[in-house]
Every structure is written in structure tokens, then in C-alpha cells.
Amino acid sequence: MMATVKETKEFLESKLNGFRPDVALIVGSGLNGLAAALDKPLKIPYDEVPNFPKVSVAGHTGDIVFGELEGKKLMMLCGRVHLYEGRSVAEVVYPVHVIDSLGVKVLVVTNAAGGINPQFNPGDLMLIEDHINHLAVNPLVGGINGENTVRFLDMTAAYSTRLREKMENAAEKLQIPLRRGVYLATLGPNYETPAEVKAFAWHGADAIGMSTVPEVILARYHNIEVLGVSCITNLAAGIALRRLSHEEVLEVGKAAEGKLVKLLGGFLAAL
Ligand code: HPA
């Protein structure tokens, strides 16, 4: 594993001419347009990057985009692979090893999620305060690189209190409403049943999605500070009396994108 991460890192560094990203972003379904906001972008398709997992879901393009926003040097990963595609958890978190190898100390993750909290509406943005791992897999199982030294990682404040404060301040300054809550990750690929959503509400989940949690666990292992934002693209099954569709999730994500770009800009300016 370290050998393959090293190869990926060296390939990327050979393209970067000394550019050293400070902040990495992993962005989910329908939120890829964030990359268009970057100054002096350098776009590298995942296909060209040695050992990088290739994406295969509608709404994802699969590009690493390096560039600047609000004076910060960014590395954006547009598109991720998911466990529900039958990919291994090692593949899902591979980009986080690469982010770490490049010396990045702050990771921002965004995703699309269904709203469980009855106060949420489609199009809302939610600052992730904490998560519930309902995936039944974990990137630390069996150790990293054959070294089983990663058990019992502390997950208190996995979503950095410092970064959350900065994001809350940015939202207030920009007058962009920002919800906060707990993100629960489920395997998918089907959306939940109303009974599952009810159970997850009792567990304390405010939003539900199919990503993010493995990457955040591995980022914490690497001691990378994490900020997470969910775009509430729909009300979770049974919360609203209608069926869910992936097209709708993508559409609402697209519609909320401008707000999210503004918010991230404000956050980065405050970093
Ligand atoms: N459930 C799970 N994942 C999701 C949802 C949902 O309702 N919406 C967007 N991603």
C-alpha cells in the first residue's frame, strides 16, 4: 500500500511544479461545479493517476483539480467511489492516504443526504457535527500496511470544533442558513425503507447518506482535521409522502451548489 501511495504522490508532484495544497476537498453527487470556482486550475482525470480508484456513478466525473480559492491552495477530488458499487473500503479511502502523503492537514467533505430531521427541507445545507457508522465496515480493520497499530482511535470531535466554528461564522457573515446535525452512513445502494428511517431517527441521525464516513475515519487516523457539509437533497423515505429518485437528488444538489460554493469560499477566507 505505501509503495502504491508513494507512486501516486510522486506522479501528482511531478505535475504540480511545487504547488503544495493546504486543504483537500472531497465532493459528492451533483456538487462537482465547485471546481469551476478555482483560480488557475490544474485538472487531472482520475484515469491518468496511477492507482487512483476510477469512478462509475452518474453525476461524478472523476477529476482531481488543484487550484486556489480565497488565497488557499486546494486539492479538490470531484467524484468518489462507494461501497455500494462493490468497491472495497480500501479503494474508497485510497484518496485520503494520497491527501495525507501530500502533507494536507485539512479535509473538507461534502455529500448529498436525505433529511431525517423533520425541520430540514430539500436544498438545506447541514454542517456535520458527528456521524454514525452504519456501514458495518471500517478502513482501519486489519490495520494499515499490515501494521495493526490503529485500533481504538479516538473519535471525539472527529469533525473539528475549530473548523466548525469557522464555518458557522462564515455562514452567519454571508447570511447563508446552515443546519447542523448528525450524518448516518448506510451501505445502500437502495434508499432506506420508512421503517429504517424511523429507526435511524431514534438513533439520533439528522441526515442519511451512503458515503463520507470511511474517509473521515481514515482522515482522523492520519490526524487530518475534518469539516463536513451535507446537502439535504430530499427528505428521507417516509418523512415526505413521495418516492425518492436519484435524478431529483442530483437536481437539488445542483440547485444548492451556488450556496455551497459561497459558503466554502467564506470558510476558506477565514481559515
Ligand atoms: N438516503 C441515502 N442516501 C442519500 C439520500 C437518502 O435519502 N439522499 C441522498 N443520498
Q: Identify the band that residue 169 occupies on the pLDDT scale cut at 50, 70 and 90.
A: very high
Output the pLDDT for position 40.
86
Known active-site residue 234: yes
Which of 225, 234, 237, 257 is an active site residue? 234
Output the pLDDT for position 215.
98
Known active-site residue 37: no
Whether the per-residue pLDDT at 266 is higher than 80: the answer is yes
Query: Coil, helix or strand for 168?
Result: helix
Known active-site residue 84: yes
Q: What is the Cα–Cα distance from 199 to 204, expressed in whole angstroms?
A: 9
The protein residue with its alpha carbon nearest to ligand 1, atom 6, reads: 114
Within 10 Å of residue 241's Cβ, how many Cβ atoms?
7
Which of 24, 35, 46, 60 is an active site residue? 60
Digit-coded pLDDT (tens) for 124-162: 999 999 999 999 899 999 888 767 667 788 999 999 999
What's the 263 CA to ligand 1 centre distance in angstroms?
22
Q: What is the Cα–Cα distance from 41 to 21, expressed in whole angstroms?
A: 12
Known active-site residue 85: yes
The protein residue with its alpha carbon nearest to ligand 1, atom 10, reads: 113
Q: What is the Cα–Cα distance from 271 to 267, expressed in whole angstroms?
A: 6
Output the pLDDT for position 217.
97
The protein residue with its alpha carbon nearest to ligand 1, atom 9, reads: 113
Distance of CA 257 to the CA centre of its chain: 14
Mean pLDDT, rounded, for 102-125: 96
The protein residue with its alpha carbon nearest to ligand 1, atom 2, reads: 209
Q: Are strands 207-209 and 106-115 parallel, antiparallel or unpaired?
A: antiparallel
Digit-coded pLDDT (tens) for 215-250: 999 999 999 999 999 999 999 998 887 778 888 878
Known active-site residue 203: no
Q: What is the largest CA-CA distance in the chain?
A: 53
C-alpha cell belonging to residue 261: 460554493
Mean pLDDT, rounded, for 26-40: 75
What's the 247 CA to ligand 1 centre distance in angstroms?
12
Distance of CA 193 to the CA centre of its chain: 24
CATH superfamily of 2-270: Nucleoside phosphorylase domain (3.40.50.1580)
What's the 132 CA to ligand 1 centre distance in angstroms?
15
Digit-coded pLDDT (tens) for 46-95: 989 999 998 875 555 688 999 998 899 999 998 888 999 899 999 999 99
Output the pLDDT for position 31.
60
What's the 235 CA to ligand 1 centre distance in angstroms?
8
Known active-site residue 211: yes
Of the candidates 124, 75, 130, the residue with the CA atom closest to the CA atom of residue 99 = 75
The protein residue with its alpha carbon nearest to ligand 1, atom 7, reads: 114
What's the 22 CA to ligand 1 centre distance in angstroms?
30
Bridge partner list, 53 = none
> Using a 6 Å CB cutoff, which residues line ligand 1?
112-114, 191-192, 208-210, 233-234, 236, 244, 249
Known active-site residue 246: yes
* H helix or E strand, kind and range, residue 99: helix 89-101
Output the pLDDT for position 55.
84
Of the candidates 28, 269, 47, 46, the residue with the CA atom closest to the CA atom of residue 128 = 28
Within 10 Å of residue 132's Cβ, how many Cβ atoms?
16
Known active-site residue 159: no
